Chains A and B, each alone.
Chain A
């Protein structure tokens, strides 16, 4: 499809994101909400929907949902209602899902995403509206490929608490949708309410996609895309669907309102095969669960306990530490990394006792953004599990700032510290990484090298000054340890210039 053709249409996208809350027990029953486990070992008469059982709401589920509502600037309903949503599917043994319908707990919020700039410009902030956030329970897991005649069911996931975050149709490209889901993931991880793992299904996303001719007010017919189980696939699936809808309209055909599944292997969306019946969920207030009333005092308490969010942190890093926007963005992406950076920085401040705090912040930022993040990614670790703790990292940066180690020396030292838990100064000395800055120690070696290479000295004196590189190499090689090459160069120049006269 040509770029020109795509530009004549405007995609309109809204997302529904489901997040599994990291409570210990389930939404309405005391069985474990932990991921995985042997099939049907995290079950309870309530989550299995046995007659005569009474669900009781998990207090932590409400607290976590309120955290999310406040972090996304939602209005919190003073009173909200749990409702039954009826449909028959074996992964839901009760025949209904406990959810919220017309009185959800959070409404009218927003998040801000940073659009990549076109060219060299500054990133553009775009506000994406959140229609509502409501609480509900997850369904069990169906296995269709284990037995040719049956579907097998594992109810471990059944009743695990979820929040569903419904966005306004404010997204205008597959890229924006991707950035939005990333932002939701970042927020729930900062809040510590969901691990945000799309591959394991603790964060799931469905998209409503339509296109309309640019300039038209009315929305086009939308399709709902399901089964996008990675961030990359969210972007790809929506991109595919936009192109498919534009092609249909260009061919004079209509988009059919339907649910489509993303097939990551074939890289396409296709209609769900199951018989499309008109859904009639017959929502009504669940008589087993009374209303939830949230007071201002409770909200104040939750608000006060909210962590500093990535946006605030990013701004603080730029204003207080003078870090570039790029550094501030990378460092605050994950809460654990930002915490690590700040711990290392305050340990460094303690050592230096002040001075140029901006230079120190940039020095810590450089090591965190390169060595630390590389190792975390390679080893799939969280920052707090890194063998180099923030105090030791501060020690390394201190050596570098004092010019006691070279920049390559710092890298070698970091690598060594991953395997050796002693203080960085000790390791640096052991491994000869400390730069010899004492001209006295280098002097004899420089003399020796010059005496041993009279021909090259002659060349230098005749004007071929580039041979100094050869001498530097010789000195570095003959000297035990890692002398500062700038010092070696200076000493060589002094001796050679002295030889002219």
Chain B
């Protein structure tokens, strides 16, 4: 299998997710299948083909440097799981 249980645990840890052993097993299988499918591309000869960063044939999409206030603080804080009248509040992070 291309993706091991350890790989799944590592990726899950990076994403701050936790799974049961059965889930880990199933994810390892599914991710392996996906990688194997995409892996077919490896058989193509890409000599001389520059790496592609985007599928869109667009460059330099930019905006002018103009300030616009689109939401108020009240609106900004309204969606937060926890906030006081001025700040977003999260569980204490020790530096």
Interface residues of A (CB under 8 A from B): 23-25, 30-33, 38-41, 43-45, 48, 50, 56-62, 79, 81, 86, 88-90, 103, 142-144, 146-155, 272-274, 280, 282, 285, 287, 289-293
11 contacts between A and B (CB under 8 A): A30-B70, A33-B67, A39-B73, A59-B65, A143-B87, A152-B89, A153-B87, A153-B88, A155-B88, A287-B54, A291-B54
Contact B60 A290 (CB under 8 A): yes
Q: Which residues of B contact A30 (CB under 8 A)?
A: 63, 66-68, 70
Q: Which residues of B contact A282 (CB under 8 A)?
A: 14
Contact B62 A40 (CB under 8 A): no
Minimum-distance CB pairs A-B, first 8: A30-B68, A60-B65, A285-B53, A152-B87, A153-B88, A59-B62, A293-B59, A151-B93
Most chain A C-beta atoms within 10 Å of own C-beta, residue among B56, B61, B79, B91: B61
Q: Which residues of B contact A154 (CB under 8 A)?
A: 86-88
Contact A31 B69 (CB under 8 A): yes
A51 CB to closest chain B CB, in angstroms? 11
Q: Known A41-B73, A43-B73, A150-B90; judge A291-B64 contact (CB<8 A).
A: no
Complex CA gap A32/B67 in Å reads: 6
Contact A25 B65 (CB under 8 A): yes
B28 CB to closest chain A CB, in angstroms? 19
Number of A-B contacts (CB under 8 A): 129
Interface string of B72-95 (1 = CB under 8 A from A): 110011010010101111111111
Contact B14 A40 (CB under 8 A): no
Contact B94 A273 (CB under 8 A): yes
Most chain B C-beta atoms within 10 Å of own C-beta, residue among A25, A50, A151: A151
Q: Which residues of A contact B79 (CB under 8 A)?
A: 50
SS of B interface (majority)? loop
Q: Known A40-B77, A150-B82; judge A290-B87 contact (CB<8 A).
A: no
Q: Which residues of B contact A292 (CB under 8 A)?
A: 59-60
Q: Which residues of A contact B54 (CB under 8 A)?
A: 285, 287, 290-291
Q: Known A24-B65, A48-B76, A152-B87; judge A81-B53 contact (CB<8 A).
A: yes
Complex CA gap A151/B80 in Å reads: 14
The answer to whether B22 has its CB under 8 Å from any CB of chain A is no
Q: Known A30-B66, A48-B76; judge A90-B58 contact (CB<8 A).
A: no
Task: Choose among B62, B71, B77 the residue that contacts A45 (Cβ–Cβ < 8 A).
Answer: B71
Q: Known A30-B67, A43-B73; judge A89-B93 contact (CB<8 A).
A: yes
Contact B14 A44 (CB under 8 A): no
Residue of B nearest to A103 (CB): B53
Q: Which residues of A contact B59 (CB under 8 A)?
A: 79, 290-293
Q: Known A40-B88, A151-B92, A153-B90; judge A57-B14 contact (CB<8 A).
A: no
Contact B63 A58 (CB under 8 A): yes
Complex CA gap A290/B94 in Å reads: 36
Contact A274 B88 (CB under 8 A): no
Q: Which residues of B contact A150 (CB under 8 A)?
A: 82, 89-92
Contact A39 B86 (CB under 8 A): yes
Contact B93 A45 (CB under 8 A): no
Most chain A C-beta atoms within 10 Å of own C-beta, residue among B70, B79, B87: B87
Contact B95 A273 (CB under 8 A): yes
Complex CA gap A81/B59 in Å reads: 10
A36 CB to closest chain B CB, in angstroms? 14
Given A25-B66, A58-B62, list of 5 further CB < 8 A pairs?
Answer: A25-B65, A60-B65, A144-B92, A152-B88, A292-B59
